[in-house]
Amino acid sequence: MGAARARLDQLWQRGREFLGAEAAIMGGAMSWVSERHLVAAISNAGGFGVLACGSMSPELLAAEILATKALTARPFGVNLITMHPALPELIEVCVDLAVGHIVLGGGLPAAASIAAAKAKGARVLCFAPTAVFGKKLVRLGADALIIEGTEAGGHIGPVATSVLAQEILPVIRDVPVFVAGGIGRGEAILSYLELGASGVQLGTRFVCARECIAHPAFKQAFIRANARDAVPSVQIDPNFPVIPVRALVNKASAQFTVFQQEVIGKVRSGEMEAKAAQLAIETYWAGALRRAVIDGDVDNGSLMAGQSVGMVTAEQPTAEIIGELIAQAVAALEVRLWREVAE
């Protein structure tokens, strides 16, 4: 086991050093889920927690960062949405409170945003949907990249994690790259590390962590679900493009389709402008997610989940989840090392 663990540490050494963590396992930033308790628990367990700012105001974010620091002395990051109207102020909050890592998601960030985030030494991570965009982000100053496949929960792109990894990992070597989307076991982590990743990011796997504040009904929905239950939302009109959202199928899924029809009908009748309609469609899920995560309304709320949800089978302490992932990766390496010796 010693040799296998040493090999694993060698494979993700770059990611560990970049994050300042024992294991290069980032927690995905999930709105209403990735708050102080789960983030601190992931970091305390040797991983790297990431706060989800979501739609928070600068004042609320500052309070959440300070509350997280009260629960852990280990590094953690903050995820900011580039479309947030107060993005400059949110970046300033992170910089002033000495957040070491800032993740800019939800779109291609401006060079000014990256520069502002790095002003006092913070490291910036950005999401790269393609190799071309990844190289551009590096030129703009991104210190690391995250590639997230369509298997992930929440807002998703069209390409599978395995394909993105094959496209991007071989051609972007000058910054660490973390892989996300559909990862639920240590063997998968190992495979991406061997392809050249510096680490991974997992969201769905941590929803049923004991330290996670999500409502028990929300957690039970994850425990009962399988991979085929997590499907993308449907777009009903190409004139109103919608970024797909992967979630467990429930009444809210059907309600979203009806909601789109109602909003688009208002545009066609002149009751609403197209831009306002698009915004209404895109922001629909924010309130629906809170209803499920906080209030426990798993019928009418959004159950955003990745396809790895089928590997979530019980509520566990965060440290146990991370320990299992590492043990699975080490066990796979042990088998490989044994075969090498046998040959």
CATH number of the CATH domain containing 88: 3.20.20.70
* 37 and 213 Cβ atoms separated by less than 8 Å: yes
Q: Are residues 68 and 110 in the same domain?
A: yes
> What are the two backbone dihedrals, phi and then psi, of residue 342, each rounded to the nearest 5 degrees?
-65, -35
Q: What whole-number distance in Å separates Cα of residue 237 and Cα of residue 261?
A: 9
Q: Is residue 221 part of a domain?
A: no
Q: Are residues 334 and 267 in the same domain?
A: no
pLDDT over 70 for what percent of the chain? Answer: 99
Which pLDDT band holds residue 284 (cuts at 50, 70, 90)?
confident
Q: Are residues 262 and 179 in the same domain?
A: no
Q: Is residue 137 part of a domain?
A: yes
pTM score of the predicted model: 0.94
Name beta bridge partners: 81.
105
Q: Tell me the C-alpha to C-alpha distance, in Å, between residue 163 and each of 34, 96, 196.
A: 27, 38, 13
Mean pLDDT of 74-78: 98
Task: Work out how many domains the chain is built from and give that number.
Answer: 2
Sheet holding 177-180, edge to edge: 25-27, 199-202, 177-180, 144-148, 123-127, 101-105, 77-81, 50-52
Q: Are residues 141 and 189 in the same domain?
A: yes
Q: Is residue 301 part of a domain?
A: no
Q: Is the backbone of residue 32 left (phi > 0), alpha (psi -120 to 50) or beta? A: left
Q: Is the pLDDT of residue 22 over 80?
A: yes
Q: Is residue 21 part of a domain?
A: yes
> What are the two backbone dihedrals, phi and then psi, of residue 86, each rounded to the nearest 5 degrees?
-110, 30
Q: Is residue 62 part of a domain?
A: yes
- Residue 287, Cβ neighbours under 10 Å: how many? 11
Q: Are residues 236 and 90 in the same domain?
A: no
Q: Are residues 166 and 262 in the same domain?
A: no
Q: Is residue 24 part of a domain?
A: yes
Which pLDDT band holds residue 106 (cuts at 50, 70, 90)?
confident
Q: Are residues 148 and 286 in the same domain?
A: no
Q: Is residue 256 part of a domain?
A: yes
* 186 and 158 Cβ atoms separated by less than 8 Å: no
**What is residue 1's predicted lDDT score, i.e. its pLDDT?**
64
Q: What whole-number distance in Å separates Cα of residue 195 and Cα of residue 337?
A: 18
Q: Which two tokens stand for residue 135?
A: 């190289």
Q: Tell me the C-alpha to C-alpha distance, in Å, between residue 187 and each of 144, 193, 227, 335.
A: 23, 10, 18, 11
b/e for 194-227, b at 16 or more Cβ within 10 A? Answer: eebbbbbbbbbbbbbbbbbebbebbbebbeebeb
Q: Are residues 242 and 263 in the same domain?
A: yes
Q: Are residues 40 and 145 in the same domain?
A: yes
For residue range 24-67, list pLDDT tens digits in order: 999 999 999 999 999 999 999 999 999 999 989 999 999 999 99
Name beta bridge partners: 180.
148, 201
Q: Tell me the C-alpha to C-alpha distance, in Å, between residue 304 and each of 72, 74, 188.
A: 27, 28, 22
Q: Are residues 102 and 247 in the same domain?
A: no
Mean pLDDT of 238-261: 88
Q: Tell me the C-alpha to C-alpha distance, in Å, between residue 322 and each of 13, 23, 201, 307.
A: 17, 8, 12, 19
Sheet holding 245-248, edge to edge: 154-155, 245-248, 230-232
Pick the closest to residue 200 from 224, 213, 183 (CA basis). 183
Choice between 221 and 336, residue whose per-residue pLDDT is larger: 221
Helices H / strands E in the chain, number of each: 13, 11
Q: Is residue 177 part of a domain?
A: yes
Q: Is the pLDDT of residue 136 over 70?
A: yes
Give the residue numbers spanning the domain of 123: 2-213+313-338
Q: Are residues 169 and 271 in the same domain?
A: no
User: Which one-letter amino acid corresponds to residue 189?
Assistant: I
Least confident of 176-185, 278-287, 302-311: 278-287
Q: Are residues 235 and 206 in the same domain?
A: no
**What is residue 109's predicted lDDT score, i.e. its pLDDT?**
95
Q: What whole-number distance in Å separates Cα of residue 141 and Cα of residue 143?
A: 6
Q: Is the pLDDT of residue 98 over 80?
A: yes
